[in-house]
Amino acid sequence: MNEQVLSLRLQVVADQLPAGANFADIGSDHAYLPCYVCLNDSDAKAIAGEVNEGPYQSALREVKEHNLEGRISVRKGDGLSVVKPGEAEQVVIAGMGGTLIAEILEKGIEVLDYTDRVIAQPNVDAKSVRKWLIANGFQITGEKIVEEGGHIYEIVIADRSEGYHNDTFSERELYFGPFLLKEKSDIFRKKWEEENQKLKYVFSQMRKASKPDNQKLDRIQKEIKWIEEVLENG
């Protein structure tokens, strides 16, 4: 993968940006996503944010190599602290856990006041991201699920909602993703079949503990029940 040929996962993320995007990619690593977007759209511009020195240097190198310094600003810092309110109309946070993504969104709430769209690709725990978005003035407007290199990735697209709030989702819908649950694609089924096996294993191991965590066991049991219901029903 590089900035000219993106991984399928990042390609699907890139596809959620509008033409002429003005976005921040937080946790940009090599800045492949902003470079790809700017190389393919002469009106696009981006901020590539990175907290770690190694990936920050990689991002600087990549941007320089493509002479994109005028359109991609590479900044070092934690989460959305590198973006000033009003600087980015879209925010991408991809390739991290859902809890970390939700934390970054929470800390960057002032920047998000000026953001129309958030595109999040949590590697695990997408529910935390959906919950945060809905509780903070965003409406989930789309979801994607892709399989690549033996992994299955979920992408959540949320737009700032002025009037209508679709915050009536059940815990179950937030767990599976309201759009993904409706669609129930083959990849979605595969993901939850795998997750079911994992949860059953964890459940059996946890039950053997000398002092089982009953609260956690109940939660896992509830999730297994949800998954089996979803897989059974069409």
Ligand X SMILES: C[S@@+](CC[C@H](N)C(=O)[O-])C[C@H]1O[C@@H](n2cnc3c(N)ncnc32)[C@H](O)[C@@H]1O
Residues lying near ligand X in the complex (CB under 6 A): 10, 26-29, 49-52, 55, 78-79, 94-96, 104
The CA-based dihedral angle spanning residues 11, 150, 52, 28, taken in that order and rounded to the nearest 10 degrees: 0
Shortest spacing between CB 178 and ligand X, in angstroms:
23
Measured between alpha carbons, how far is 169 from 151 in angstroms, rounded to an integer?
A: 27
State the Cα angle at 145 between 168 and 126, rounded to 5°.
50
Shortest spacing between CB 219 and ligand X, in angstroms:
27
Burial of 114 (0-12, 13-18, 19+ CB in 10 A): middle
- By C-beta, is 29 or 223 nearer to ligand X? 29
Measured between alpha carbons, how far is 49 from 46 in angstroms, rounded to an integer?
A: 10
Measured between alpha carbons, how far is 13 from 218 in angstroms, rounded to an integer?
A: 35
Shortest spacing between CB 12 and ligand X, in angstroms:
11
Shortest spacing between CB 231 and ligand X, in angstroms:
28
- By C-beta, is 93 or 230 nearer to ligand X? 93
Measured between alpha carbons, how far is 37 from 47 in angstroms, rounded to an integer?
A: 12
Shortest spacing between CB 20 and ligand X, in angstroms:
21
- By C-beta, is 56 or 175 nearer to ligand X? 56
The token pair at 53 is: 């020195």
